[in-house]
Amino acid sequence: MSNNNPLQPIPCEILNVKKESTHEWTFRVASDADVDHGQFMQLSIPKVGEVPISVSGQGDGWLDFTIRSVGKVTNVIFEKEAGDTLFLRGPYGHGWPVDEFKGKHLVVITGGTGLAPVRSMVNLCADNPKTVKDLTLISGFKNEDGIVFQNELDKWKEHDHFSTTYALDNDEKEGWSTGLVTTFVKDIPFDTFGDDYAVVVVGPPIMMKFTGLELLKNGVPEEKIWMSFERKMSCAIGKCGHCRIDETYVCLDGPVFPYTKARYLVD
């Protein structure tokens, strides 16, 4: 085997599987890979295929991947359990510019499983309260079945420097709001943040599009907004071409983009 083959996957043991919802499970995998918050890796099952998945958590010797069973590969991953093997390569791409967010008011707006790519950064802010001044989290889900990271959502609510809004698109739930995340943007106290804040948006493309426009409408300049993209990929190293938008490769230049760039990317 060559030692210079960037496509070579490494077999890694699944440590445990946590069922977040019916179709979204978090797989904890043994790995020493050094991952930035918001980066992704290529997960594969030999003879089935390879998929890009963002790292949703990390710790000493392990990585979390929160996966939705919607395709050929992810369906087979869902047949795996602790002790089984997943093949990994990466991490890839550019994650969140955490150093730039440090010491600022941070606003995080997520839709559905879009919470996964920001989860480790939000936990960093929760566990180390001095990382940011405060954190405003707006997390929306389609319905109760789609809620992921329930334990952490509950835990984050308790932090003094966190202000959380959890919402279901149409349904009612105790202690939760009802409505699309865009409807809560106007309640964010941007006027109290001065110039010292950043906004992170992750979710389905349509949610990110309208949240971006809503933020602009509320006077947030585009250079303060960051988004994470998701595109089809085969290689994750800028060769296969599937994720290209204009002259930008999502695998190399993203998946996290400043809105100054993201806004003008037209597939």
Choice from 80, 183, 234, 261 touching other proteins (CB under 8 A): 234
What binding mask, one character per residue, do residues 44-83 give for other proteins by CB under 8 A, x or -? xxxxxxxx----------------x-xxxxx---------
Is residue 246 a contact residue for other proteins (CB under 8 A)?
Answer: yes
Q: How many residues bind other proteins (CB under 8 A)?
A: 46
The nearest distance, CB 48 to other proteins, in angstroms, is 5
CB closer to other proteins, 94 vs 173: 94
Is residue 8 a contact residue for other proteins (CB under 8 A)?
Answer: yes
Candidates 53-61, 115-123, 165-173, 231-239; binding stretch for other proteins (CB under 8 A): 231-239
Candidates 5-13, 125-133, 150-158, 163-171; binding stretch for other proteins (CB under 8 A): 5-13
Is residue 142 a contact residue for other proteins (CB under 8 A)?
Answer: no
Choice from 62, 124, 157, 238 touching other proteins (CB under 8 A): 238
Omega of the bond leading into 91 within 30 degrees of 0 (cis): yes
**Cα-atom radius of gyration of the chain, to the nearest Å?**
18
Angle between helices 116-127 and 150-157 (to 10 degrees): 40
Choice from 138, 140, 230, 262 touching other proteins (CB under 8 A): 230
Tokens representing 34 are 């050094």
CA separation for the pair 196, 136 (Å, rounded): 14
Say which amino acid occupies 253: D
CB closer to other proteins, 2 vs 192: 2
The nearest distance, CB 171 to other proteins, in angstroms, is 21
How many secondary structure helices (H) and strands (E) does the chain include? 8, 15
CB closer to other proteins, 1 vs 158: 1
Is residue 251 a contact residue for other proteins (CB under 8 A)?
Answer: yes
CA separation for the pair 117, 180 (Å, rounded): 20
How many Cβ atoms sit within 10 Å of the Cβ of residue 159? 17
Nearest CA among 214, 255, 205 for reference residue 107: 214
Phi, psi of 67 (to 5 degrees): -120, 140
Cβ–Cβ under 8 Å, residues 85 and 12: yes
As to burial, measured by CB atoms within 10 angstroms (0-12 exposed, 13-18 middle, 19+ buried), residue 133 is middle
Binding site for other proteins (CB under 8 A): 1-2, 4-9, 11, 44-51, 68, 70-74, 85, 205, 230-232, 234-235, 237-242, 244, 246-249, 251-252, 264, 266-267
